[in-house]
Structure 1
Amino acid sequence: MESDIMLTVDFDRLDVRAGHRYLDIGAGLGRHSYEAARRGAHVVALDYDPDALPEMAGMLGAMAEVGESPEGTGAIVMRGNALTLPFPDASFDRVIVSEVLEHIADDAGVLAEIRRVLRPDGRMAATVPAWLPEKICWWLSAEYHAPLVEGGHLRIYTEPMLNERIGAAGLRPDGTARTHALHSPYWWLRCLAGPTNDTNEVVEAYHKLLVWDMVKAPWITRTAESLLARPLGKSLVAYAGLPAESGRAR
């Protein structure tokens, strides 16, 4: 079972169920898509980077072969642009857009597309870097953020700002969370060493600590994560729904 430690979105709070049509925008390494598949959702994992797709497709196929995802559920891995989603209106019950909005100039356009493809009474979750940890990263390293780096971060979200943009798209925000507090110091160290420096001994040592935490989930790091999540969580997660009475054409 995928460790909850690796997930940014709380799938119980998002209420992902068997039979749901689930869209993962910016699926990346596929961790959220794998969890959706385990829960019996029909998964569409979409990413703009073609290099991310073969591994995801192989993993989802392997999960089906060994029975880790329920029989009868399907999974599609495809390349796509978050601003022009290649799906009809009202196609999905659940949508995730994880660590994508901060990279795209027209974040309102992405949220409008999510509203378009979400079914009435559907739910979505958006994750972005949280304000304080991200602000420190920007302060520590100009190389970390745009416009100096292709694909860099274009803006820093506050919680009210993210909720306002979700609401402006016609979705109904219904709560936020913070997670991955132990990841914030890792990124601060990376910024100090240089974001593209993969040989720094301190950064490597801290990365080993994170891997140990994900594998072993010891009480001491889990307690620290719980206590520090709200002030230092690296990711801000916003949940929202599309009311059944939205009145959209189906």
Structure 2
Amino acid sequence: MQTINFQRLELKDGERFLDVGCGEGRHTIGAYLHANVEAIGVDLSEKDLDIARERVEQFIDKDNSEKSIRFQQANALELPFEDNSFDKVICSEVLEHIPDFQGVLKELQRVVKEDGVIGISVPRAWPEDICWRLSDEYHKTPGGHIRIFNATHLRREVEDLGWQRYYRHWAHALHVPYWWLKCKYWGQEDDQVWALRNYHKFLVWDLMQQPLLTRVLDKMLNPLMGKSIVMYFKKNPTTEQGK
């Protein structure tokens, strides 16, 4: 399940792609499959990286030397890459976990090329607020969400660094009820609660089958209750000119 749209990111053959906070590798693998790119995923969790390395094995195209993929451990506040070294950089569902999210934004800015693109997604404020109200444990669990982002505020934080948002969309509306149920019954396994068990089955079915009906329904509901807000940024030319 991908949150970043690679077409909106304008990901093309021959580019270098960095996924900051890649987790188990969904976007890094997605980028590798989308185009002939050098895809790199970084995360603090070695456990998640091991899962990502295991998952990608089935997708490796050994006959195509024009693309590559790798995963490595790194701190988002101290990325082990040179300045201006990536064409596209994404940070999806990560900033809500990190106290110094401004520091992460500066690192994204440092490693992306001057003509590159940054893609960022965070949980949408009002569905996330309901999750917090339903369960204290949801946001107090170590490594969990420590803030609810105001999308306008986050946009301004990025634009203050000299970038300009060129596109925005929402994602995963159909997942919102699941997380509300998850928070309401926090601490219980999905199979212990009828509603959780069956809604989870529905989401798995939807992911595997991708029927037209649910794709249309998700697209219609996303502007209203999409779980994530996704924003794409390019360098603001007026900033470079000192305007």
TM-score (norm 1): 0.89
Question: What's the counterpart of residue 190 of structure 1?
Answer: 182
1:37 aligns with 2:35: no
Q: How many residue pairs are counted as aligned between the two chains?
A: 238
Q: Once structures 1 and 2 are overlaid, which stretch shifts more, 96-105 or 150-159?
A: 150-159
Q: Deviations over 1:24-48 (max 9, x none)?
A: 0111121111121111110111011
Q: Which residue of 208, 211, 214 corresponds with 1:215? A: 208
Shift of 1:221: 1.4
Q: Deviations over 1:98-125 (max 9, x none)?
A: 1100011111100000000000110011
Checking the alignment, whether the CA contact within 8 Å between 1:18 and 1:41 is kept in structure 2 is: yes
Q: Deviations over 1:69-118 (max 9, x none)?
A: x4332212101111111111001000010110001111110000000000
Checking the alignment, whether the CA contact within 8 Å between 1:50 and 1:79 is kept in structure 2 is: yes
Q: Which residue of 9, 22, 44 corresponds with 2:4? A: 9
Shift of 1:205: 1.0
Checking the alignment, whether the CA contact within 8 Å between 2:37 and 2:66 is kept in structure 1 is: no
Separation (CA, whole Å) in 2 of partners of 1:213 and 1:61: 24
Separation (CA, whole Å) in 1 of partners of 2:193 and 2:43: 30
> Which aligned pairs between 1:160-175 and structure 2 lie closer than 5 A?
160-175=152-167
Amino acid at match of 1:95: V
Q: Deviations over 1:123-181 (max 9, x none)?
A: 01111000111011011111111xx3101211111221120111123322222110100
TM-score (norm 2): 0.92
Checking the alignment, whether the CA contact within 8 Å between 2:37 and 2:67 is kept in structure 1 is: yes
1:125 aligns with 2:119: yes
Checking the alignment, whether the CA contact within 8 Å between 1:133 and 1:234 is kept in structure 2 is: yes
1:203 aligns with 2:203: no
Gapped regions of structure 2 (runs ≥ 5): none
Q: CA RMSD in A?
A: 1.8
Q: Once structures 1 and 2 are overlaid, which stretch shifts more, 77-86 or 157-166?
A: 157-166
> Which aligned pairs between 1:147-162 and structure 2 lie closer than 5 A?
148-162=140-154
Question: What's the counterpart of residue 87 of structure 2?
Answer: 93
Gapped regions of structure 1 (runs ≥ 5): 1-5
